[in-house]
């Protein structure tokens, strides 16, 4: 059948597309490959499908495309984490709905007394994928939108603490397994199975909300990556339900991609996935509030800081989430150009978990036309801090906290950090000394070679810039 | 069915191999691009809007098509917008 060849070509285009995404030079064409693959897949399914409800199809396509164009064009680069989060959620939601649609359609043919297994003589593996799709898709949907609102600054906290919270999650988890078992082999007839499916979806939605709710902002890169993976797994699972290879392959590719990113993020925080998901750090560390009284912190005016750049030949900028919040990427680029003109080499040190999603900082700086060759990964740039005249930390905190190297009692001990403290001078742009996320004290601010500029990242950089221009 | 499990396992391994090669600079476009690819659920969704026994499956299919198309269109466009910025070194 022709449509099957179209599916095969689409699969190949997806794989080649992802291959080309591994180099900056070919990445854009890779994205085009994948979108052509998608177009062929849609043509294929229109050939495969029987009599379609064209009203529903065209309305759904137009509605989805219009929203897609709107958000793709209007979302600022600083809001990419939210957008990717929302897209993850919609992907999970779509998979759940596909499985539900298939289920209500197929079980409508069942006689009372027949169970899910009786559907086309389903095997166990096949029957299991139905509740798995509903569960993973549902968690992805509600969890992603929870993450979306958290990234938007909503600070909802979990109604339960400690053991009670884990208890609630465990009960919901057990409940979903029990209903799934009943759904596969207990519930009979169309109504019973559909009812069970509805329950699975409801519990999955609740689980998604409760699991993501307690996770703090700095852990968002892990959550977003994991939900990305879930959206792929849900897609692959829905492929098992409807028996379509293309869905299985594409879902598996996305699932694998999300898992790898999740691993990279966890490693960069020296934490296990379980530790992030159980949400320990944000809430348990508040006892250390006394530690956050700083001694001997030196603050400086933009004027004083500008003098430091006389004769400086090397500068490294360390961006963090504060850069995104203040939308300071263009100001950083201006400063970069000015310093380069004065003979000072400027580079950027990017910690893997800087920002709220993998690669967040790289996209922001690319938007401001900073050449990507100037952006260096942690391992590549760490040896260079020793020979660097000035480091400018813009809105980053935990990723430059030397306590991670030295203080065994620190909650972030062992996390790989950027060794900015080894530079000759460190300038930290920060609104105040208030310990950010997790309330961890940062001894960097007390070091003799560290100067604080207590301002919003953008205003601080602009002030520094105008002083440098005046000099 | 077992064929699908084979396909799933092999595709996952291929995914691991391919994604490991993607540099951190491109991680955000990778995520939005893979989001777009996960919009492939649109294929399942279109199959669900076939006229069948119940109107409910058509209704689920309609919402699924809309969701998946947001993923497809939004995902590919925003990825392109990002990658355009990474483009060849500009005059600056």
Q: Which of A336, A398, A419, A421 is catalytic?
A: A398
Distance CA A197, CA A130 (A): 9
Residue A361: how many other CB atoms lie within 10 Å: 31
Split at pLDDT 50, 70, 90, the class of A272 is confident
Assess whether A402 and A435 both reside in one domain: yes
Residue A72 in contact with partner chain B when CB distance is under 8 A: yes
Assess whether A246 and A390 both reside in one domain: no
Q: Which residue does chain A place closest to B26, by CA atoms?
A: A359
Identify all chain B residues contacting A104, using CB atoms and an 8 Å cutoff.
Answer: 54, 56-57, 60
Question: Which tops the pLDDT comparison, A204 or A430?
Answer: A204
Q: Which of A84, A257, A367 sits opposite B19 (nearest CB)?
A: A257
Assess whether A63 and A119 both reside in one domain: no
Assess whether A237 and A334 both reside in one domain: no
B41 with A71: Cβ contact below 8 A: no
Residue A98 in contact with partner chain B when CB distance is under 8 A: yes
Residues within 8 A of A (CB atoms), B 23-82 only:
23-54, 56-82
Assess whether A34 and A113 both reside in one domain: no
Assess whether A460 and A340 both reside in one domain: yes
Q: Which domain holds residue A92?
A: 79-279
Q: Which of A63, A101, A337 sits opposite B61 (nearest CB)?
A: A101
Q: Considering A32, A56, A74, which residue would you say is the last residue of a domain?
A: A74
Assess whether A350 and A385 both reside in one domain: yes
Residue A337 in contact with partner chain B when CB distance is under 8 A: yes
pLDDT digits (tens, 9 = 90+) for A124-148: 777 889 999 999 999 999 999 999 9
Angstrom CA distances, A274 to A163, A211, A222, A279, A378, stand at: 15, 12, 11, 8, 24
Identify all chain A residues contacting B87, using CB atoms and an 8 Å cutoff.
Answer: 28
Assess whether A187 and A322 both reside in one domain: no
Q: Considering A17, A45, A74, which residue would you say is the last residue of a domain?
A: A74
Mean pLDDT, residues A236-252 taken together? 92
What residue spans define the domains of chain B? 25-86
Judge contact between A444 and A426, C-beta under 8 A.
yes
B78 with A369: Cβ contact below 8 A: no
Assess whether A299 and A415 both reside in one domain: yes
Q: Which of A27, A53, A375 sits opposite B29 (nearest CB)?
A: A27
ipTM, two decimals: 0.94
* pLDDT at residue A288 tops 60: no
Rounded to 10 deg, the angle between the A245-268 and A2-20 helix axes is 20
Q: How would you class A50 by CB atoms within 10 Å of its CB: exposed for 0-12, middle for 13-18, buried for 19 or more?
A: exposed
**Strands, sheet with A450-454, edge to edge from the N-terminal-most edge strand:** A298-299, A450-454, A425-430, A390-394, A314-319, A345-350, A375-377
Q: What is the CATH number of the domain that holds A344?
A: 3.40.50.1220
Tokens read off for A413: 């001990």
pLDDT digits (tens, 9 = 90+) for A344-372: 999 999 998 888 888 889 989 998 989 88
Angstroms from A426 CA to nearest CA on chain B: 25
Residue B6 in contact with partner chain A when CB distance is under 8 A: no
Assess whether A31 and A132 both reside in one domain: no
Distance CA A217, CA A198 (A): 32
Distance CA A442, CA A402 (A): 7
Q: What is the CATH number of the domain that holds A215?
A: 1.20.1420
A91 with B76: Cβ contact below 8 A: no
Backbone angles phi, psi at A425, to 5 degrees: -135, 140
Q: What percent of chain A has pLDDT over 70?
A: 95
pLDDT digits (tens, 9 = 90+) for A441-458: 888 888 889 988 888 888
The tally of domains found in chain A comes to: 3
In a domain, A285, yes or no: no
pLDDT at B91: 43
Residues within 8 A of B (CB atoms), A 420-459 only:
none
Mean pLDDT, residues A320-343 taken together? 90
In a domain, A254, yes or no: yes
Assess whether A132 and A173 both reside in one domain: yes
pLDDT at A439: 64
Interface test with B, best of A9, A11, A20, A72 (most B CBs within 10 A): A72
A18-27, A72-81, A255-264, A437-446: range with lowest mean pLDDT: A437-446
In a domain, A305, yes or no: yes
pLDDT digits (tens, 9 = 90+) for A163-214: 788 888 889 999 999 999 888 887 777 788 888 999 999 999 999 999 888 8
């Amino acid at each position: 059948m022709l449509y099957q060849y179209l599916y095969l070509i689409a699969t190949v285009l997806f794989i080649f597309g992802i291959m080309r995404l591994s180099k900056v030079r070919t990445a854009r064409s890779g994205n085009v490959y994948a979108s052509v693959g998608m177009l062929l897949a849609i043509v294929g399914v229109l050939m495969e499908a029987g009599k379609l409800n064209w009203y529903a199809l065209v309305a759904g396509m137009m509605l989805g495309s219009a929203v897609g164009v709107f958000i793709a064009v209007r979302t600022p680069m600083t809001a990419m984490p939210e957008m990717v989060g929302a897209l993850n959620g919609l992907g999970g939601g779509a998979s759940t709905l596909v499985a539900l649609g298939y289920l209500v359609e197929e079980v409508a043919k069942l006689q009372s007394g027949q169970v899910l297994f009786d559907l086309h003589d389903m095997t166990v593996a096949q029957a299991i994928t139905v509740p798995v799709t509903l569960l993973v898709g549902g968690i992805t949907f509600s969890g992603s939108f929870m993450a979306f609102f958290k990234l938007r600054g909503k600070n909802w906290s979990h109604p339960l603490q400690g053991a009670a919270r884990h208890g609630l999650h465990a009960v919901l988890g057990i409940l979903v397994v029990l209903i799934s078992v009943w759904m596969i082999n207990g519930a009979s007839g169309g109504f019973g199975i559909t009812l069970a499916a509805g329950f699975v979806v409801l519990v999955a939605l609740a689980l998604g909300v409760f699991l993501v709710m307690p996770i703090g902002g700095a852990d968002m890169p892990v959550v977003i990556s994991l939900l990305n993976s879930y959206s792929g797994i849900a897609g692959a699972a829905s492929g098992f339900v409807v028996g379509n290879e293309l869905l299985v392959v594409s879902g598996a590719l996305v699932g694998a991609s999300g898992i790898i990113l999740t691993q990279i993020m966890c490693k960069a925080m020296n934490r296990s996935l379980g530790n992030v998901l159980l949400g320990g750090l944000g809430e348990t560390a508040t006892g250390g509030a006394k530690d956050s009284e700083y001694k001997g912190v030196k603050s400086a005016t933009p004027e004083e800081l500008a003098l430091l750049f006389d004769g400086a030949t090397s500068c490294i900028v360390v961006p963090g989430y504060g850069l995104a919040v203040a939308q300071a990427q263009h100001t950083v680029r201006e400063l970069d150009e000015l310093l380069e003109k004065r003979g000072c080499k400027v580079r950027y040190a990017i910690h893997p978990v800087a920002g709220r999603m993998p690669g967040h900082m790289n996209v922001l700086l690319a938007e401001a036309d900073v050449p990507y060759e100037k952006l260096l990964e942690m391992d590549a740039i760490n040896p260079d801090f020793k020979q660097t005249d000035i480091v400018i930390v813009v809105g980053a905190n935990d990723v430059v906290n030397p306590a991670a190297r030295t203080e065994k009692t620190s909650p972030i001990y062992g996390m790989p950090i950027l060794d900015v403290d080894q530079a000759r001078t460190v300038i930290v742009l920060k609104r105040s000394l208030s310990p950010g996320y997790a309330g961890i004290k940062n001894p960097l601010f007390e070091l003799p070679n560290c100067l604080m500029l207590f301002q919003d990242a953008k205003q601080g950089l602009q002030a520094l810039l105008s002083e440098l221009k005046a000099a | 069915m077992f064929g699908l499990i084979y396909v799933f396992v092999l595709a996952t391994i291929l995914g691991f191999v391919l994604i490991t090669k993607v540099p951190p600079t491109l991680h955000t476009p990778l995520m939005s691009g893979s989001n777009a690819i996960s919009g492939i659920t649109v294929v399942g969704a279109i199959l669900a809007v076939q006229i069948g026994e119940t109107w409910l499956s058509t209704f689920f299919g309609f919402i699924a098509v809309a969701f998946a198309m947001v993923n497809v269109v939004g995902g590919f466009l925003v990825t392109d917008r990002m990658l355009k910025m990474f483009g060849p070194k500009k005059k600056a």
